[in-house]
Amino acid sequence: MAYSKKHLNVNETVVLDLQPHWWFFAAPAATLIATIVVGFLVKTKLDGNAGKYLGYVLLAAVIVSALWLLRRFADWKTTNFVITTDRVIFRQGLVAKRGVEIPLGRVNNVNFNQTVFERIIGAGDLLIESGGEDGQQRFSDIRNPSGVQNLLHAQVEAKASRGMNFAPPAATPVDVAGQLEKLEGLLQRGSLSQDEFDAQKARLLGN
């Protein structure tokens, strides 16, 4: 399920929207397959009450494993790891939800971890260090974590570059001498009293 654009800020666009790697299903899928295989062996090798009761136990295990796999699929379907032009967003859940948001301006460092097997299948964990209260966030089962790391670094740099381009111009220094000349002219024309002139002069000179 793609991340909803209605949750984006003005002028914010999605750069990357990922759901977990298929390895996310490994544990429940392996358990389901194992219980089915064992159940088949029990049915063909064991007779009598022992085989019957053990078959019931394995049938219950198959049902539980199937429900676990369905739950994992629902989690996968409603999980998004998103990089936008402004922030990193993690969302999971349809009814009970949890989420993390990290503004790109607070991202200090991005690392990834992969076991040898995870490197073979193209999965891994992404670790993001930020200036927020949580400090470090770990995101598991990320597809191509090294590529995501590079992309996130690029977006952080692009965000910083945009911030520099939109920085307000430096304030123009006050021309003290010119302002004093104008005040003296106003004083001579009678537009300012001596007290008003002295107060304005003191303000300009920082007294």
Q: Print pLDDT tens along the chain (207 aa).
A: 778 788 888 888 999 999 999 999 999 999 999 999 988 888 777 777 767 788 888 889 999 999 999 999 998 998 999 999 999 999 988 766 788 899 998 999 999 999 999 999 999 999 999 876 667 899 999 999 999 999 999 999 988 887 666 555 554 555 677 777 777 877 776 666 787 778 777 877 766
Compute the residue count for the chain: 207
State the Cα–Cα distance between residues 58 and 39, nearest whole angstrom: 6
Rounded to 5°, the CA angle 133-134-135 comes to 95
Residue with the two structure tokens 């104008």: 182
Report whether 15 contacts 85 (CB < 8 A): yes
Report the CATH fold assignment for 5-165. PH-domain like (2.30.29)
Report whether 4 contacts 60 (CB < 8 A): no
Per-residue burial over 99-125, b if 16 or more Cβ lie within 10 Å, else e, is ebebebeebeebebebeeebeeebbbb
Report whether 4 contacts 91 (CB < 8 A): no
